[in-house]
């Protein structure tokens, strides 16, 4: 019997991608989402909405 892999929540991955010095407000503005939406994603309450291209702008 194989074990199931529990993948990381997208918010957990997003936390690793965001620059440490960037605030939630700054990141939300860059990603064009509300602070509430991004905060909930980072707290792993719900998946983030921004597409991967938006994330690449922050991490470049």
Domain assignment present for 27? yes
Task: Answer whether residue 51 shows pLDDT above 90.
Answer: no
Of 6-10, 21-25, 54-58, which has the strongest mean pLDDT?
Answer: 21-25
Q: How far apart are CA 20 and CA 1, in angstroms?
A: 41
Do the beta carbons of residue 44 and residue 11 sit within 8 Å? yes
Looking at the 3D structure of the chain, how many domains does it have? Answer: 1
**Residue 49: which residues within 8 A CB-CB, separation 6 or more?**
33, 37, 41
Domain assignment present for 4? no
Whose tokens are 């960037």? That residue is 22
The residue segments making up the domain with residue 34 are 23-59
Q: What is the pLDDT of residues 11-34, one digit of tens each?
A: 788 888 888 899 999 988 988 888
Do the beta carbons of residue 10 and residue 48 sit within 8 Å? yes
Model-level pTM? 0.64
Q: How far apart are CA 5 and CA 38, in angstroms?
A: 26
């Amino acid at each position: 019997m194989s074990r199931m892999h529990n993948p990381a929540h997208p918010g957990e991955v997003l936390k690793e991608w965001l620059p440490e010095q960037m605030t939630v407000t700054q990141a939300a503005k860059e990603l064009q989402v509300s602070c509430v939406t991004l905060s909930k994603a980072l707290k792993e309450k719900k998946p983030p909405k921004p597409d991967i291209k938006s994330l690449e702008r922050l991490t470049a």
